[in-house]
Amino acid sequence: MVIKTKKILVPLDGSKNSIRGLDMAIHIARQSQGTVVALAVKTVPGIYAIHPLGFLDFNSMNDVKKLLSEAKVRAAKKGIDLTGKAIAGDPGYDIARFANNKKNGIDLVVIGARGMGAAKEIFLGSVSNYVLHKSKKPVLVVK
């Protein structure tokens, strides 16, 4: 059985681990002539997630745009096409939902073991742990 890894999803939050995940995703994409989708999920308080305008303050959206454009440059230097996408919501849930959505055509999720979460979990971050269990696609956790 040949597994085609054409489209790799890499969640980014700006942490060192998420950047390591990005580098691994770029490496895998080079091996398989694939592309990378960088997904930045801005956490929003529950009630605001429903509001059509969301709860995005512009400074944080600028940070997200900067993060995604830096990722694009990093990938381009290695000859890899990277598409950046920013959404607001619950990181674990939305990353898994994005990966599982057939429309997005994701073949693999590459995620950092721990991100910017407030608590430093002993083994695995809560977001990566959630994605690992809820994704229907293969997940590579990068330490």
* Residue-range domains of the chain with CATH: 19-142 (3.40.50.620)
pLDDT mean over 57-77: 86
Mean per-residue pLDDT over the chain, rounded: 85
Handedness of CA 24, 137, 104, 56 (dihedral sign): negative
Strand, helix or coil at 116?
Answer: coil
**Edge-to-edge strand list for the sheet holding 139-142:** 82-89, 35-43, 7-11, 108-112, 139-142
Residue 24 in this model has a pLDDT that exceeds 50: yes
- Write the pLDDT tens digit of every residue in 79-107: 999 999 998 888 999 999 999 999 999 99
The more confidently predicted of residues 4 and 115 is: 4
For helices 16-32 and 58-76, the axis angle rounded to 10 degrees is: 40
pLDDT mean over 56-70: 78
Residue in the structure block whose two tokens are 């091996």:
31
The pLDDT score that the predictor gives to residue 119 is: 46
Residue 138 has phi, psi (to 5 degrees) of -60, 145
Q: Which among 58, 79, 80, 59 is positioned nearest to 10, based on CA atoms?
A: 80
User: What is the rounded CA–CA span in Å between residue 124 and residue 113?
Assistant: 5
Number of DSSP helices (H) and strands (E) in the chain, helices first = 5, 5
Percent of the chain's residues with pLDDT above 70: 78
Residue 24 token pair: 């691994």
The more confidently predicted of residues 15 and 115 is: 15
pLDDT grade for 122, boundaries at 50, 70 and 90: very low
